[in-house]
């Protein structure tokens, strides 16, 4: 097994390396890959020193699996080159997510969609991943016709430069601006670019990706995505309208059986999901279960996950584990 991590020196790349180590992912050779300006850099990882290589050298090495976290432009240019030499590319960017010829995978929900012919596999948007982990089993049981979601997303979702902006503002320093406004002590109802329909690209990602992952175009999603000055994870307030009646105890029983999903719902003891407690955790946390008293067959709940872990690195590594365990590597 020859494994490449493309974008190994970035925030998500570093997290991928941590998850690989924690999950004891087995490989014979590890290639750390980055842009030309980072090639030649020395990286200490898991008791060894690695020399970062460029993309051309990585393709020439013909890795079995390449986990990409290097941006959409890099993925569009280089993922096909890796695929041509037989590599399975698992891509964290948005480049391939809505390509009808590519699979968009959350292993617990639709891992079975992957075949041995899939050489480029897309990792969904971080906010979508944590939401579909809840929606998937409930849709199978009750049928979902509508979802209204409002997100509260960490600055880590915008990368290290955004974290630096927030911390500089907090320290009273002049920051290098990533956002169009101050982020510390503020809330921005603006993630990614605005589209002609008035929604942002992030909001439409959640709408379109959810349908593709669930393989059910009956599920309609309306999203409002908001950036808040926190670290540790993304939070979501989710209202789900079912086709059929539900019992709360049954909902919780169904979700309690989902791998990687943890119920935290003990309001008497102030126990509910928070970014602070989800930080560095691979699980998705769900709580604040409430029957929607304004609409029949509707449910309110609150979902939190570390966006750099299950929202990116962990899900990508889980896809790599799935393809190896199911003998899908050529």
Q: Which residues are catalytic?
A: 126, 234
Q: Is 281 annotated as a binding residue?
A: no
In 10 A of CB 34, how many CB atoms?
24
Is 115 marked as a binding-site residue?
A: no
Beta carbons of 123 and 319 less than 8 angstroms apart: yes
Q: Where are the beta strands (DSSP E) in the chain?
A: 2-6, 29-33, 42-45, 48-51, 65-68, 88-91, 103-104, 120-122, 144-153, 220-227, 234-242, 261-263, 284-291, 298-305
Q: Is 7 annotated as a binding residue?
A: no
Q: Which helix (H) or strand (E) holds 46?
A: none
11 in a labelled binding site: yes
Q: Are 269 and 164 in contact (CB under 8 A)?
A: no
Q: Is 208 annotated as a binding residue?
A: no
Contact 77, 56 (CB under 8 A): no
Answer yes or no: is 211 a known binding residue.
no
What CA–CA distances, in Å, run from 299 to 141, 179, 202, 206?
14, 34, 23, 19
Q: Is 97 annotated as a binding-site member?
A: yes
The residues, ordered by sequence, that sit 6+ positions from 268 with a Cβ below 8 Å of its Cβ are: none
10 backbone φψ class: left, alpha, beta (φ>0; ψ -120 to 50):
beta
> How far is Cα 274 from Cα 304, in angstroms, rounded to an integer?
6
Q: Is 9 annotated as a binding residue?
A: yes
Annotated binding site: 9-12, 37-38, 97, 153, 227, 307
Annotated binding site for substrate: 153, 227
Annotated binding site for phosphate: 97
């Amino acid at each position: 097994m020859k494994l490449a991590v493309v974008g190994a020196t970035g925030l998500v790349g570093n997290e991928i390396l941590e998850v690989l180590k924690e999950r004891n992912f087995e490989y014979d050779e590890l290639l750390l890959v980055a842009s030309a300006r980072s090639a030649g850099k020395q990286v200490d990882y898991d008791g060894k020193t690695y020399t970062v290589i460029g993309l051309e050298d990585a393709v020439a090495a013909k890795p079995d699996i390449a986990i990409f976290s290097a941006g959409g432009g890099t993925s569009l240019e280089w993922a096909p080159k890796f695929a041509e030499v037989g590599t399975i590319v698992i891509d964290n960017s948005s480049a391939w997510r809505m390509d009808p010829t590519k699979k968009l995978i959350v292993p617990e929900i639709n891992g079975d969609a992957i075949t041995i012919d899939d050489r480029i596999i897309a990792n969904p948007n971080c906010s979508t991943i944590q939401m579909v982990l809840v929606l998937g089993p409930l849709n199978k049981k009750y049928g979902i016709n509508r979802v209204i979601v409002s997100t509260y997303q960490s600055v880590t979702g915008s990368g290290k430069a955004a974290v630096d902006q927030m911390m500089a503002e907090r320290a009273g320093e002049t920051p290098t601006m990533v956002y169009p406004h101050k982020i510390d002590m503020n809330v921005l109802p603006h993630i990614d670019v605005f589209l002609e329909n008035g929604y942002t690209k992030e909001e439409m990602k959640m709408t379109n990706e959810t349908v593709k992952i669930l393989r059910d175009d009956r599920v309609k999603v309306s999203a409002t995505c908001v950036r808040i000055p926190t670290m540790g994870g993304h939070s979501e307030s989710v209202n789900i309208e079912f086709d059929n009646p539900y019992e709360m105890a049954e909902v919780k029983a169904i979700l309690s059986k989902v791998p990687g999903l943890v119920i935290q719902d003990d309001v008497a003891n102030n126990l509910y999901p928070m970014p602070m407690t989800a930080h560095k955790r691979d699980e998705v946390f769900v709580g604040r279960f409430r029957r929607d008293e304004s609409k029949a067959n509707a449910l309110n709940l609150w979902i939190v996950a570390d966006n750099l872990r299950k929202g990116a690195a962990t899900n990508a590594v889980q896809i790599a584990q799935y393809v190896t365990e199911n003998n899908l590597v050529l």
